[in-house]
Structure 1
Amino acid sequence: MTIKNHLRTLLYTGLLTASFGLTSCEDYLEKTHESTVSEEDAFKTFRTFQGFTEELYYCLPDHAHCYWQNSFNWGEDEIISFGKDYFMGYKIDLGDFWGWQSGFDGWGCCWMDGSNVSSTSTDRMQKKFWPLAWYGIRKTNVGLANLDKLINATDEERNLIEGQLYFFRGWFHLMLIEYFGGMPYIDTVLSASEPLSNPRLSYQECADLIAEDLRRAADLLPIDWDKTTAGAATLGNNQQRINKIMALAFLGKNYLWAGSPLMNYESQGSRTYNADYCKKAADTFAELLELVESGQTQYALVDFDHYSDIFYTYQQNAMNPGSTEAIFQSPMYDWWMGSGWSLGPQFVGSNQSGETNSTLFTPTANYVNYFGMANGLPLDDPDSGFDPEYPWRDRDPRFYNDFIYDGVQTIENLSALSADQRDKQKIQYANLYTGGNYRDEVNESRTGYLLRKFTPLAVNYYDQGIRDYGDALTIQISWMRLADVYLMYAEAAANGYGSATSSAPGFSLTAVDAINRIRERAGVADVNSKYTGNLDDFNSEVRRERAVELAYEGFRFNDLRRWLLLTVYPYNIKTSQEFDRVELNTDDPTQSRVANWREEEILRRNLSEKHYWMPLKTNDVTIYPEFYQNPGW
């Protein structure tokens, strides 16, 4: 096969202008003409080499906005999708993991693959991971092979170029093995005159090579481009350029994933944490957090009053969300990308208003149950104080931020409602009790909850905030944010150094301290001492804290996989919350009283061991024997 892959113009205007076509894995790895200008001119100066390098940023997939309605939350136990059988989340529920591939009726809904892919367009729908990862890896190798041609550059500029290239090579490989297990590690420019024979390595063998690249990147890159001489040319617009903190964050994640039960089982046959890798992860995260906590970085946890700034901005002149907490994001590709349809409005009252749009994804009751009490205890703890007659009382404040529950006001401007809508249809408050008009399975909630984490109250048909959707509302989900780093440090330190009170050498923050940092921000009490004396008990709180803090941000699928819990009850079920409303308190819905509180199972996923890894493309695994299919597929 030949690849139609020629870069037509090499310019440095902040982006590389290029176009190419992509087909199969073999095509991505083939030797190609990388530009229409000479290598001496392309790589001679920092300006032209950076132009070459910046195309890599446009190889980043946008997992949250890859389609008109997307499903980057892939089923798991946190959300249920219905009405659209081509969503990847729906396919995951059925065990159809082939659905990530565009050839399996993906309709473009999955961010991992597509037939129309471009590394240089501003069309978010063309940012598909599988083809762009292989293309990006080749491009990094071409750049690294030509570093000697960078003769008109300072040491700082040379380090910036080299650091970015090593980061992207490591990051693309990390993303590949996270979903597919150990892969070939491509660290040279492959020749089209020689047959492919690069073997699949074990997960941990790949992780070791990724670690070398990310460590080099961290050592070469600055904390903040704005504080470099080279970065002065784009001062104030460097927040997404690869830096030391990004490299350390993914280096730590790489080690923690390599030390997790699934990856340790794939590599060494043990279904437990690998303490050595966890120690490396904890040490790396400690290096990062020491810089953050000493004020040497531009990153900090966002206070809870501005928590929504991490995820969206509304009517703020197209300001991008993320604030000081976003470490690594994809570019904002086009104007409509900010809309995030399936993330956003719950189309409140859509069935009553006659609109054809509907809520496609709703939180499951079993997942909402992870949101415990403000006193820090899980709902099922005998000392939690949870009262099934007043189930909305004294909950973790993130519960009120993330969900619409029964009795919550759903329309900001009540004067916009007609008398009929107020008195007969009763749509101004979420009627999510069993039989309520917000429980319509086609247009509203199947589970008794709606998601509000990613949109303000005004985004509904009655307040007409829906008209601003895509213009005034900008939603973005980070690939990495600071809260995740604290949580990964907690997990790594505990499982690497042996207990909840362990810490990385020379770092004062213990594993439980890191969890408490996140809880304190939200106004939740510290982890109770009954969960810190035993590592298994503490791990249960680590998992619960990740479920709460990172809810619906696309982490859960891979977390359950790496913990070897994807196929295990109760992580394989989805439930609805059933109850009768006894008394609605419109002034304070947390004080509303209910009766007959119960859960009902509405779906059970019948997954097996093979589902812990995604299937590779059949066309790709037939290229050469060493590139074999994952077990069971």
Structure 2
Amino acid sequence: MKKYTKCLLMIGFIWVGSGMVSCKKYLDRDPEAIVSAESAFKDFRSFQGYTEELYNCIPDFTNRYWTNSFNWGEDEIQSTVQNFHFVNKIDNGDFWGWQREFDGWGAGFMDNAGANTNNDRFTKGLYPLAWYGIRKANLGLENLNLMVNATPEERDLIKGQLLFFRGWFHFMLIQYFGGLPYIDKVLPSDEPFRLPRLKYQECAAKAALDLRQAADLLPINWDNTTAGIQTLGKNQLRINKIMALGYLGKNYLWAASPLMNFESTGSKTYNAELSKKAAAAFAELLKLTESGAAPHKLLPFNQYSTNFYTMGQNFALPGGTEAIFSGPYWGAHGSTYGTAKQYTPAIVGADALVFAPTANYVNYYGMKNGLPIANSATADPSGSGYDPQSPWRDRDPRFYNDIIYDGVKVVQGTLAANMEAHRYANLFTSGSYRDDRSGSRTGYLMFKFVPRTANNFDQGWNYGQNLNIKVPYMRLADIYLMYAEAAATGYESATATTDGFGKSAVDAINVIRDRAGVGRVAAQFLGSTTEFMKEVRRERAVELAFEGHRFNDLRRWRLLAEVPYTLKTAAEFDRAATLNPAADTKLNKVVNYRERVILQRPFTEKHYWLPLKRADVNMYKEFAQNPGW
């Protein structure tokens, strides 16, 4: 097995060394690739060893570099001390920045010089690893007949994993680039690569076949299988039925969405039939979780942070019962070197590079009664109850969990006398936490993924604190929200249900709101799908805030290039009185509250898709560049 894997990897290294930089190098089969195949694939242990490498093709977007940019919508803005992260390039309309050729620091998770399947998080790039993973999955599927010494269960486990990865890697690519060739066989190295780009929905249909079959073959829980008993208690990240169903539904919903439907059919609306298929897949998953047949369930709100980080638990993997899909984690202490420090302003932090939430995005966190804020500068006494003179009062509880606002206590422990003035977040205009270069540019900080002790004085990121940060690719709350969107757009009603599942679209939204203690969706949003979708989009913005979803959501809804989604703003205000540390910060009053536009992103139609690599589009004319690039 070791000999075979080494040979397989050497092929990739030879291609890289020869200067070939296109996706083709990861798809070709060299004659050496079948050396010792009978030995490599003969039984479950050997074949699973081969399959395990596919897990190392999943980038850890949370911790890919020292500091990490994975929120590219209108949700987040970076301090100006550096400009190498992709979010800065996107803000300038430069989408070439995802490619390593335009990323001199090698900081992004989208690309890398090669398809490295080692245990080094810094070497992972989605684009090369996806193509490599597709080839590897195809090679395994082609050799399933050599698995002669195996039980039916073991065959299903291997085949299910390979099919999942083939579908997942294709999905991850097409969501950024649009329709691509769907590679479902091993491509011989001595034949020209001429496969044309498919339409998005054509590609998604093929991915759906793989993901559906994977869901049918895989168990809910590997611990309950004979093969899985060998690794009992260590199967948390292994591909299972719930993961396959989750991505089956997501693949269908993305294909149904306005951007993808427009690319495929010319219609800028949802594709109702694909939305129905998405809803059915999500319903199948939710029936398993709600019945207890699957171990997944929403974490209680007082354990909400476990979705994203653990502390004092010997670097335990975050996610709890809510995480559905997360990749491997390389080096438990890795996140504390950078990710843990990228949200704290330099005045009390350890790094001048700070990612902060935009004021326009914080506005999506509405009121505790469940109503949205219509205008952050205008009082709404007869509606939501929002008051710009008391902008932190009676807000959605997730606001207090995720966002640091003016007056919140940041440093918990001892401070020198000359630093005492910085114990509390001075986020008012000209406050000490406000600094374009090394602090908040917006009047807010984001602490969703770090404890309040993540500062230079409490040292919450110290090794002894065992802080481990990892944002999942998919969690159960997302499934409920995607189900709501799919059911509503498939059946044109907020109260629509899917056969065999009792919850309606609005019921699914309310499950998430009930967990957080937020008011349910108001009747005024239930009269039409158009009105209901406003709350669906807002709920996704809040519940999934800063988890890397917003950019793709805005793209697939065809809103990315539309105002106000092109704007990033700051909150400007003065304190109405001197800060009283003994008072409830939620009740603090401000004056002169207003929003200031920091930047407007220069997006046009071409920005709905990322540009492909020039080396790839120059291979042959059928592999065309995305429009405008």
Cα distance in 2 between the residues matched to 1:291 and 1:627: 41
Partner letter of residue 628 of structure 2? G
Identify the range of structure 1 (221-230 vs 30-39) with the bigger mean alpha-carbon deviation: 30-39
TM alignment of 1:439-458, pairs within 5 A: 439-458=434-453
Cα distance in 2 between the residues matched to 1:483 and 1:106: 36
1:365 and 2:359 aligned = yes
The equivalent residue for 1:104 is 102
Identity %: 57
Provide the alpha-carbon RMSD of the alignment.
1.8
Any idea what SS the aligned residue of 2:590 has? Answer: strand
Any idea what SS the aligned residue of 2:56 has? Answer: helix
Equivalent residue in structure 2 for 1:577, among 571, 575, 593: 571
Any idea what SS the aligned residue of 1:487 has? Answer: helix
The alpha carbon displacement at 1:632 in A equals: 0.5
Change (3 A) 1:356 1:402: closer
What are the Cα deviations for residues 393-437 of structure 1, in whole angstroms up to 9, with x where unaligned?
A: 110000000011000000111xx1122222xxx101101111111
The equivalent residue for 2:60 is 62
Equivalent residue in structure 1 for 2:343, among 339, 346, 351: 346
1:180 and 2:174 aligned = no
Equivalent residue in structure 2 for 1:532, among 526, 537, 560: 526
1:417 and 2:411 aligned = no
Cα distance in 2 between the residues matched to 1:34 and 1:243: 32
The equivalent residue for 2:50 is 52
Cα distance in 2 between the residues matched to 1:81 and 1:613: 26
Change (3 A) 1:259 1:340: farther
Q: Tell whether the 8 Å contact from 2:137 to 2:163 is kept in structure 1 after alignment.
A: yes
The alpha carbon displacement at 1:359 in A equals: 4.0
Cα distance in 2 between the residues matched to 1:342 and 1:239: 23
The alpha carbon displacement at 1:604 in A equals: 0.2
The equivalent residue for 1:86 is 84
The alpha carbon displacement at 1:462 in A equals: 1.2
Q: Tell whether the 8 Å contact from 1:9 to 1:36 is kept in structure 2 after alignment.
A: no
Partner letter of residue 533 of structure 1? G
Partner letter of residue 318 of structure 1? F
TM alignment of 1:259-274, pairs within 5 A: 259-274=256-271
1:479 and 2:468 aligned = no
1:512 and 2:510 aligned = no
Change (3 A) 1:331 1:479: same
Q: Tell whether the 8 Å contact from 2:243 to 2:324 is kept in structure 1 after alignment.
A: yes
> Unpaired segments of 5 or more residues in structure 2?
375-379
TM alignment of 1:161-200, pairs within 5 A: 161-200=158-197
Equivalent residue in structure 2 for 1:462, among 457, 464, 468: 457
The equivalent residue for 1:159 is 156
Q: Tell whether the 8 Å contact from 1:10 to 1:18 is kept in structure 2 after alignment.
A: no
Partner letter of residue 437 of structure 1? S
The alpha carbon displacement at 1:81 in A equals: 4.7
What are the Cα deviations for residues 452-479 of structure 1, in whole angstroms up to 9, with x where unaligned?
A: 101111111111234339x711000111
Change (3 A) 1:33 1:110: farther
The alpha carbon displacement at 1:24 in A equals: 2.2
> Unpaired segments of 5 or more residues in structure 1?
1-6
TM alignment of 1:198-217, pairs within 5 A: 198-217=195-214
Q: Tell whether the 8 Å contact from 2:79 to 2:438 is kept in structure 1 after alignment.
A: no
Cα distance in 2 between the residues matched to 1:442 and 1:81: 5
Identify the range of structure 1 (376-385 vs 239-248) with the bigger mean alpha-carbon deviation: 376-385
Identify the range of structure 1 (103-112 vs 171-180) with the bigger mean alpha-carbon deviation: 103-112
1:543 and 2:537 aligned = yes
TM alignment of 1:224-623, pairs within 5 A: 224-339=221-336, 341-342=338-339, 344=341, 346-348=343-345, 350-351=346-347, 357-380=351-374, 383-413=383-413, 416-422=414-420, 426-468=421-463, 472-583=466-577, 584-587=579-582, 588-623=584-619
Cα distance in 2 between the residues matched to 1:532 and 1:211: 31
Partner letter of residue 331 of structure 1? P
Q: Tell whether the 8 Å contact from 2:67 to 2:342 is kept in structure 1 after alignment.
A: no
1:147 and 2:144 aligned = yes
Any idea what SS the aligned residue of 1:9 has? Answer: helix
Any idea what SS the aligned residue of 2:62 has? Answer: coil
Any idea what SS the aligned residue of 1:596 has? Answer: strand
Cα distance in 2 between the residues matched to 1:72 and 1:629: 24
Cα distance in 2 between the residues matched to 1:463 and 1:339: 14
* TM-score, normalisation: structure 2: 0.95
Q: Tell whether the 8 Å contact from 1:225 to 1:241 is kept in structure 2 after alignment.
A: yes
What are the Cα deviations for residues 234-268 of structure 1, in whole angstroms up to 9, with x where unaligned?
A: 00000100000000000000000000000000000
Q: Tell whether the 8 Å contact from 1:259 to 1:274 is kept in structure 2 after alignment.
A: yes
Q: Tell whether the 8 Å contact from 1:46 to 1:157 is kept in structure 2 after alignment.
A: yes
The alpha carbon displacement at 1:105 in A equals: 2.9
Any idea what SS the aligned residue of 2:468 has? Answer: strand
Cα distance in 2 between the residues matched to 1:38 and 1:494: 52
Partner letter of residue 621 of structure 1? V
The alpha carbon displacement at 1:114 in A equals: 1.3
Partner letter of residue 252 of structure 2? Y
Q: Tell whether the 8 Å contact from 1:345 to 1:459 is kept in structure 2 after alignment.
A: no
Any idea what SS the aligned residue of 1:59 has? Answer: coil
Number of residue pairs the alignment of both structures matches: 614
The alpha carbon displacement at 1:10 in A equals: 4.6
Cα distance in 2 between the residues matched to 1:552 and 1:338: 16
The equivalent residue for 2:377 is none
Displaced runs of 4+ in structure 1, greater than 6 A?
A: 16-19
Partner letter of residue 396 of structure 1? D
Identify the range of structure 1 (356-365 vs 489-498) with the bigger mean alpha-carbon deviation: 356-365
Partner letter of residue 619 of structure 1? A
Any idea what SS the aligned residue of 2:204 has? Answer: helix
What are the Cα deviations for residues 136-187 of structure 1, in whole angstroms up to 9, with x where unaligned?
A: 0001110011011111000000000000000000000000100000000000
Change (3 A) 1:116 1:142: closer
Cα distance in 2 between the residues matched to 1:392 and 1:301: 27
Partner letter of residue 601 of structure 2? R
Any idea what SS the aligned residue of 1:574 has? Answer: strand
The equivalent residue for 1:3 is none
Q: Tell whether the 8 Å contact from 2:350 to 2:456 is kept in structure 1 after alignment.
A: no
Cα distance in 1 between the residues matched to 2:330 and 2:131: 20
